[in-house]
Chain A
Amino acid sequence: MKAQLRRYALFALVVVADLLLYLQHPARGEQAIRSALDYLVEMLLFIPPIFVLVGLLDVWVPRQIVEKNVGPDSGVRGVIISILVATAAAGPLYAGFPVADALLRKGCRLANAVIFLGTWATIKIPMLMMEVKFVGLPFALLRLALTLPAIIATGYLMEMILKVGETGRFAQGAGENKCSVKPL
């Protein structure tokens, strides 16, 4: 119970800050609360289906399929699949955390999971269209061309760093030792 309450500490702090701001500068306080509510609504409009899909992925997709396509021996194919799936994804990066987590628990290679997260964060089709519209095609294309190799390098670097001397979750490419989703 205490641990549960502690998880709301940040939220409680924010509420206090909002209240103080509102008392000092009502207009700004109102703006802070209003944009927070806007974001909340916006998130509730895409997070539920993502979690439903993660749940379905968990019960339906057998470990072998994930291992074969993005697992330790998937090579270049695994990298390409990770990138393509993530560019099609919707929502901010933290919506990708549970998906990457589920993939890892299903036997996805660590490098591919990191590449998946990196792509999710930086390259998305609707985002690129926004980018072209506001800062122009050269900016968007150059960023894309430089970001792709950077993401792939990050994936392999992370694997090197986390696998060395690691006994836990990332030791064998995927671990089932630690589950964020409690087994039922």
Chain B
Amino acid sequence: MLFNVTLFVFAAAALCISFRRDRQKTKKALAIAWNSFRNLIPSMLGIIGLIGLMLALVPREVIAGLFGNNSPAGILLISLAGAVTLMPAFIAFPLAASLLQSGASVMAVACFITTLLMVGIITAPMEVNFFGKKFTFWRNAIGFVLALVIGGVMGVVLQ
């Protein structure tokens, strides 16, 4: 929350300074901001709805029950889940902690967290919008492989 307030204050201050310096340029900046916001709205609404559905349909306990052992299938499954899911840190880390507590392996949890952060399947349409298909595909593919490596190493080291 403090973060958001800081962000708003910072943006407002920058806007004031800009307005004093040059009204025309500030108007143009606001028009650019509004246009990018308007472009984002449709996909943002869709993604938010998907997150809501996911949270309602997949209870924590189900996820926790599946990844107790270190089987390759379990690791791959939880990594794919991480790649597909989109959740903010304040949900992801408590979830990771509860996974560990309910007996999930460090490797499974580390793979989940790293793929969750580095790969975004749900946000891919938005990424394509900005940077194109090729960029999106490769950034996510490289991210997925490296996330698995990172998760694997973490699992071994932190055993």
> How many A-B residue pairs lie within 8 Å, measured between CB atoms?
240
Q: Are A118 and B143 in contact (CB under 8 A)?
A: yes
On whether A33 and B52 interact (CB within 8 A), knowing A59-B29, A162-B134, A181-B36, the answer reads: yes
Among candidates B52, B93, B132, B142, residue contacting A32 with C-beta atoms closer than 8 Å: B52
Residues of chain A contacted by B88 (CB below 8 angstroms) = 42, 92
Q: Are B93 and A94 in contact (CB under 8 A)?
A: no
Q: Are B48 and A158 in contact (CB under 8 A)?
A: no
Q: Is A2 an interface residue (CB 8 A)?
A: no
Residues of chain B contacted by A55 (CB below 8 angstroms) = 28-33, 36
Q: Is A40 an interface residue (CB 8 A)?
A: yes
Residues of chain B contacted by A130 (CB below 8 angstroms) = 89-90, 93
On whether A7 and B42 interact (CB within 8 A), knowing A49-B11, A139-B154, A142-B158, the answer reads: yes
Residues of chain B contacted by A17 (CB below 8 angstroms) = 49, 53
**Max chain B CB contacts within 10 Å: which of A18, A126, A130?**
A130
Q: Are A122 and B117 in contact (CB under 8 A)?
A: yes
**Max chain A CB contacts within 10 Å: which of B8, B32, B100, B149?**
B32
On whether A54 and B33 interact (CB within 8 A), knowing A135-B100, A142-B157, A147-B114, the answer reads: yes
> Measured between alpha carbons, how far is A169 from B8 in the docked complex, in Å?
32
Residues of chain B contacted by A7 (CB below 8 angstroms) = 42-43
Residues of chain B contacted by A28 (CB below 8 angstroms) = 56-57
Q: Is B123 an interface residue (CB 8 A)?
A: yes
The B interface, classified by DSSP as helix, strand, loop or mixed, is helix
Docked complex: A15-52 residues within 8 A CB-CB of B = 15, 17-18, 21, 28-29, 31-37, 39-40, 42-43, 45-52
Q: Is B76 an interface residue (CB 8 A)?
A: no
Residues of chain A contacted by B51 (CB below 8 angstroms) = 35-36, 39
Docked complex: B1-57 residues within 8 A CB-CB of A = 3-4, 7-8, 10-12, 14-15, 18, 25-26, 28-37, 39-40, 42-53, 55-57
Which residues on A are within 8 Å of B, measured CB to CB?
Answer: 7-11, 13-15, 17-18, 21, 28-29, 31-37, 39-40, 42-43, 45-56, 58-60, 90, 92-94, 97-98, 100-101, 104, 114, 117-118, 121-122, 124, 126-127, 130-131, 133-135, 138-139, 142-143, 146-147, 150, 153-154, 157-158, 161-162, 168-170, 178, 180-182, 184
List the 3 shortest-distance A-B pairs measured between CB atoms, nearest first: A36-B52, A14-B49, A10-B46
Which residues on B are within 8 Å of A, measured CB to CB?
Answer: 3-4, 7-8, 10-12, 14-15, 18, 25-26, 28-37, 39-40, 42-53, 55-57, 86, 88-90, 93-94, 96-97, 100, 106, 109-110, 113-114, 117-118, 120, 123, 125-127, 129-132, 134-135, 138-139, 142-143, 146-147, 149-150, 153-154, 157-158
> 8 pairs across A/B with beta carbons < 8 Å?
A8-B46, A10-B42, A46-B7, A56-B15, A142-B153, A150-B147, A158-B139, A170-B135
